[in-house]
Amino acid sequence: MRHTTPGDGAATTAPGSPNLHFDPHNPSGKHFLGQPRMLANLFSVELWERFSFYGMQALVLYYMYYQTTDGGLGIDEGVAAGIVGAYGGTVYLCSILGGWIADRLIGSERTMLASAVLIMIGHLSLSLIPHVAGLAIGLVCIAVGSGGLKTTCVNLVGTLYSRQDPRRDAGFSIYYMGVNIGGLFGPLLTSFAWGAWGFHWGFALAAIGMAFGLTQYVLTRKGLPETVHTVANPLPHSQYAKWVGIALGGIALIIVLFLTGVLNPTNLADAVVLVTVLATIALFTMMLRDKELSPDEHSRIIAFVPMFIATAAFFALFQQQFTVIAIYADTRLDLNFFGWQIPPSLVVSINPFFIFVFSLVFAGVWTKLGNRAPATPTKFGIALLLIGAAFLLFLTQVNSDPVFIGWIVLILFVATMGELFLSPVGLSLATKLAPRKYPVQMVALFNLALALGTALSGSLASFYSAENETAYFGTLGAVTVGLGILMLVASKPILNRMRGIR
């Protein structure tokens, strides 16, 4: 059986129409902003999913550590930040599960549909079930579902293009803009609902947004290319019993670890870091030892290793907008804006706002420059320099109390510029470097880098306090700037390893 991959193949001539140029990746011939028409549908689905995801995540840290008299659960602030980091890391860690199910069992499209349903269940649990039970059920369902959806939706976008299509990076940037439109408006509206009626109404609004996204997908899924139903590397039926046993054994192990206290809320983020590192090593090893892969495919996997490290380092700082920066917004910022007391959760909307404004600018620049644009390793190096600089900017306000809100806007602007150099380009890179045999699992590797970085954002939060801001922000900023310089120095040999991919 021939293995397929996102964007595998090139435009061909439709049978019986020798004079017409037929693109199998866009059979309708219709376009959206110069891209394949189906990009608009995936753009919209992801917009609503991110509306619900970020709308919920903007509130959940405060829901955990606010006192019960304020509608919260009264969990220790540091423990709550660690749980948020562990949850965020688990979202990306579960992308391996989603990728494996897509590649080996039911294909990308059906995996995405099942994941969306699971996310819907999670949001309903947070909004309807009170106390810790609703929190636990909701976060687990959303983490597992979002992991599956993240991997497969990116893969579905990749199926709309050939590997050589010059619109590919721009298309991913437009898709990424949809992500951030949802990320912008989700926290704005759920924060309003929190302030007016309480946390559970904010979570309910997130659930309504997810319902829109799920409905949108069910109504438009038939427009995707037929290749989305292909199972790239089918699992033999003889192995089904073995994998069911492994899955049940894993679930039982997690339950036992919680019941015995080995796993607990205080060490969840560290546990996710450990599991992510082990999973990363296992996945890289599995692909590199596969003798069916070509020398070029092996070389590209090796080239992805430093890109993985750079991505994890970037997101260890960037994802602190949901941990340390969220606490900073609640405790250090002057949130009084001309008499209006701004909810601290609205700080989460600053980054998506800048993404919304600048995504098309970056997409236009990359399209205009074409092959003259900086190669991907160079873009990653620039991203590390920018996120490191953003953290160093915190040092200017160490002695200010309270801190003018304009500073956090500036800091997140610099961080967002770094994100635009890395995130949409990284998604595109994962699909381009993917071996034909492992199209979705290569995207899962990119998401594992996000898992590692996000979990580290929770682990690092335990070292933060208002009293040690100089050491905390200064050390993380300086180390990341140093990594950015190393990445720029190594960009040429990494590019050589990518074998024709930029």
Q: For residue range 129-144, what is the model confidence (pLDDT) as tens digits? A: 988 999 999 999 999 9
Q: How many helices (H) and strands (E) does the chain have?
A: 16, 8
User: For residue 25, is pLDDT > 70?
Assistant: no
User: For residue 453, is pLDDT > 90?
Assistant: yes
340 SS3 class: strand
The highest-confidence range among 16-30, 145-159, 199-213, 380-394, by mean pLDDT, is: 380-394
**Looking at residues 11-15, what average pLDDT do you find?**
41
**Looking at residues 223-248, what average pLDDT do you find?**
84
User: For residue 182, is pLDDT > 80?
Assistant: yes
What confidence tier does 13 reach under pLDDT thresholds 50, 70, 90?
very low
User: For residue 17, is pLDDT > 70?
Assistant: no
What's the mean per-residue pLDDT of the chain? 84
Q: Which one is predicted more confidently, 306 or 40? A: 306
The highest-confidence range among 94-98, 185-189, 263-267, by mean pLDDT, is: 185-189
What is the percent of the chain where pLDDT is above 70?
91
Q: Which amino acid is at 385?
A: L
pLDDT tens digit sequence for 197-214: 889 999 999 999 989 888
User: For residue 8, is pLDDT > 60?
Assistant: no
What confidence tier does 145 reach under pLDDT thresholds 50, 70, 90?
very high
What confidence tier does 189 reach under pLDDT thresholds 50, 70, 90?
very high
> DSSP code of 129?
S
User: For residue 331, is pLDDT > 70?
Assistant: yes
Which of 96-110, 193-207, 402-416 is predicted with the least confidence, judged by mean pLDDT?
96-110
The pLDDT of residue 338? 78
Instruction: Give CA–CA dist 257/457, Å, rounded.
Output: 23
Q: Which one is predicted more confidently, 296 or 82? A: 82
The highest-confidence range among 218-222, 327-331, 387-391, by mean pLDDT, is: 387-391
**Cβ neighbours for 485, distance < 8 A, ≥ 6 positions apart:** 381, 385
Question: Hey, what long-range contacts does 96-99 have (CB within 8 A, 24 or more apart)?
Answer: 96/147, 96/279, 96/283, 96/441, 96/444, 96/447, 96/448, 97/144, 97/147, 97/148, 98/147, 98/148, 98/149, 98/150, 98/151, 98/152, 98/440, 98/444, 99/151, 99/152, 99/440, 99/441, 99/443, 99/444
User: For residue 11, is pLDDT > 50?
Assistant: no
**Looking at residues 98-111, what average pLDDT do you find?**
85
33 SS3 class: coil
User: For residue 180, is pLDDT > 70?
Assistant: yes
Helix axes 131-158, 107-128, angle to 10 degrees: 160
Instruction: Give CA–CA dist 501/259, Å, rounded.
Output: 48
What confidence tier does 416 reach under pLDDT thresholds 50, 70, 90?
very high
The pLDDT of residue 387? 96
> Residue holding tokens 């304020």?
70
The pLDDT of residue 380? 92
What confidence tier does 7 reach under pLDDT thresholds 50, 70, 90?
very low
User: For residue 160, is pLDDT > 90?
Assistant: no
The pLDDT of residue 36? 79
The pLDDT of residue 440? 65
What confidence tier does 366 reach under pLDDT thresholds 50, 70, 90?
confident
User: For residue 16, is pLDDT > 60?
Assistant: no
Is 85:463 a contact under the CB 8 Å cutoff?
no
The pLDDT of residue 30? 59
User: For residue 33, is pLDDT > 80?
Assistant: no
User: For residue 9, is pLDDT > 60?
Assistant: no
Indicate the length of the chain as a whole number: 502
